[in-house]
């Protein structure tokens, strides 16, 4: 694996440290009035999702993890597994639900996603910032119940439940933010 210095840091970079595999979410170079320079970082553990603040000396060397991103298509859900197909080789891959986590609620069948691999291990899923999904179940809006900003629960085709405005009806396509899980607009 390539060695990198703290001066090579970029947000989103994956580091292979002694206590695990981490993604660099934020960093700041600090040069105090006296003493040596250092780098404050915020690191997210790829496997557990825990965020850790860590400080490195300026110029310190560490291992950079080589991760591969492959575009794959979700074919179907098989029990608690998601079955993906590689868009290049057409090879099928079963991915357990805990690996996907909460993002499974934003992936409809035939959705294209990027799976992140570290060697042969799947360490993450990259979804677009927003996706379009169909509302499977929601109560109809009642005439006269038009309070500004009022919301009601809606269940999407994937099983994810979110709050939508009263005018959204069953069968409508809605745009959903994959980072927060909130309604954005009609599609």
Each residue's pLDDT tens digit in the chain (187 positions)?
A: 688 888 888 888 888 888 888 889 899 998 888 888 899 999 988 887 788 999 998 888 888 888 888 889 988 888 888 889 988 888 888 888 888 877 888 888 788 888 888 888 888 888 888 888 888 888 887 666 666 677 888 888 888 888 888 888 888 899 988 888 888 888 7
Fill in the DSSP letter of residue 65.
P
pTM over 0.85: no
Same fold yes or no, 68-126 and 130-186: yes
- DSSP E strands: which ranges in 13-126? 14-17, 20-30, 38-45, 51-57, 61-64, 68-78, 81-86, 92-96, 112-118, 121-126
Would you call 37 helix, strand, or coil by DSSP? coil
| CATH C-level class of 130-186 | mainly beta
Backbone CA torsion sign across 48, 49, 50, 56:
positive
Of residues 167, 83, 183, the one with CA closest to residue 131: 183
The pLDDT of residue 42: 93
For domain 3-64, give the CATH number. Answer: 2.30.30.30
The pLDDT of residue 147: 63
Question: Which CATH architecture fits 68-126?
Answer: Beta Barrel (2.40)
Instruction: Kindly list the domain boundaries of the chain, sorted by start residue.
Output: 3-64, 68-126, 130-186
How far lies 132's CA from each of 41, 141, 172, 176, 185, in Å? 35, 21, 10, 6, 9
């Amino acid at each position: 694996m390539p060695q990198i210095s703290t001066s090579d840091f970029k947000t989103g970079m994956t580091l292979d440290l002694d206590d695990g595999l981490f993604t660099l979410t934020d960093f700041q170079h600090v040069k105090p009035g006296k003493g040596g320079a250092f780098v404050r970082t915020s690191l997210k553990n790829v496997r557990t999702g825990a965020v850790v603040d860590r400080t490195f000396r300026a110029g310190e060397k560490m291992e950079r993890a080589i991760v591969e991103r492959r575009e794959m298509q979700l074919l179907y859900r098989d029990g608690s597994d998601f079955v993906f197909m590689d868009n290049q080789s057409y090879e099928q891959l079963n991915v357990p639900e805990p690996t996907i986590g909460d993002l499974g609620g934003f992936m409809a069948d035939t959705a294209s996603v990027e799976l992140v691999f570290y060697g042969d291990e799947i360490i993450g899923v990259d979804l677009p910032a927003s996706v379009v999904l169909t509302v499977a179940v929601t109560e109809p809006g009642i005439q006269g119940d038009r309070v500004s900003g009022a919301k009601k629960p809606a269940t999407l085709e994937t099983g994810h439940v979110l709050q939508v405005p009263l005018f959204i009806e069953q069968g409508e396509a809605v745009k959903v933010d994959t980072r927060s899980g909130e309604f954005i607009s009609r599609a």
